Structure 1
Amino acid sequence: MTEIVVRPATVADVGAVLALWTVGAENADRPSDSAADVERLLARDPEALVLATDGEDVVGSVIVGWDGWRCHLYRLAVHPSHRRRGIGRTLLEHAEQRFAAVGGKRADAMVLDGNDLGASIWTDAGYSRQPEWSRWVKPL
């Protein structure tokens, strides 16, 4: 394994990101992802999609969403072959630094109730479930 590098994604990474999400992310109960979706995100905020790379391989990701008011984290994923190496924590630390730099006060993440692996990553990083909130959604 080479040194893990954390960097913003580029359009050239889109295929590798989608492949990572297929094997390394929770994909239940969400709309399917497409190259156009990821490219639109990068066009709107080129620093929003943060990757962990091992050489040329994309092995981790997190979307660091800042809308000028709230700090949202999405699509935290680590390739199964690279788990338990601190990559998820490194990605979250990078995200939190970005939020602090823009004046963010609190980061949130949505984790499916049955996603025990995801819940453990967030708990280990110091996040806690907020039971008094419910998420309301409407497909567009």
Structure 2
Amino acid sequence: MSDLHIRCAGLTDIDPVLRFWREAAEGTSISDDHDGVARLISRDPGALLLAERDGLLAGTVIAGFDGWRCSVYRLAVHPDCRRRGIATALMAAAEQRFVSLGGRRVDAMVLEANERAHHTWTAGGYHREDRWRRWVKPLTD
């Protein structure tokens, strides 16, 4: 994986990341727009991690830490780059970030219907916690 470079996203990466998510990510989020990603990068500049190979975006993960919980979102790898260790490298970078910030446990948002992702998370040492469910309320229309 020596040709894989992982770095934090900057504001100039927003549009390429949004295009990447449309192609590589499962599902959509209410925050999948320019303003949403700009807020993320501005509030927590180290949270959005990008994996690049040969100058091309190959994967992303959001590794957010609010001082209480470590949360992972948007782990996505380009379809042409899957099964090459990119998700593993991104998660290692996210976990390293969390440890350096004093995090104790990682919570990952994983779509229930994305069975392929379930295998990835299990291989990474994560397990499903059935006693919890996500409750949501959009604050905008």
TM interval, shorter chain, is over 0.9
Q: In 2, Cα distance between the equivalents of 1:32 and 1:94?
A: 23
Query: CA RMSD of the aligned region, Å?
Result: 1.5
The list of structure 1 runs, each at least 4 consecutive aligned residues, that deviate by more than 6 angstroms after superposition, is none
TM-score when scaled to structure 2?
0.93
Q: How many angstroms does 1:12 deviate by?
A: 1.3
Structure 1 counterpart SS, 2:71: strand
Identify the residue that residue 24 of structure 2 maps to in structure 1: 24
5+ unaligned residues in a row in structure 1: which ranges? none
Q: How many angstroms does 1:106 deviate by?
A: 0.3
5+ unaligned residues in a row in structure 2: which ranges? none
1:33 aligns with 2:32: yes
Letter in 2 for 1:77: A
| 1:21-53 CA distance string (max 9 Å, x none) | 11111115x326111111111100110000000
Q: How does 1:84-99 map to 2 (within 5 A)?
A: 84-99=83-98
TM-score when scaled to structure 1?
0.94
Identify the residue that residue 104 of structure 1 maps to in structure 2: 103
Identity %: 49
Q: How does 1:61-140 map to 2 (within 5 A)?
A: 61-140=60-139
Q: How many angstroms does 1:58 deviate by?
A: 1.0
- Report how many residues are paired: 139
Structure 2 counterpart SS, 1:64: strand
Q: In 2, Cα distance between the equivalents of 1:74 and 1:20?
A: 15
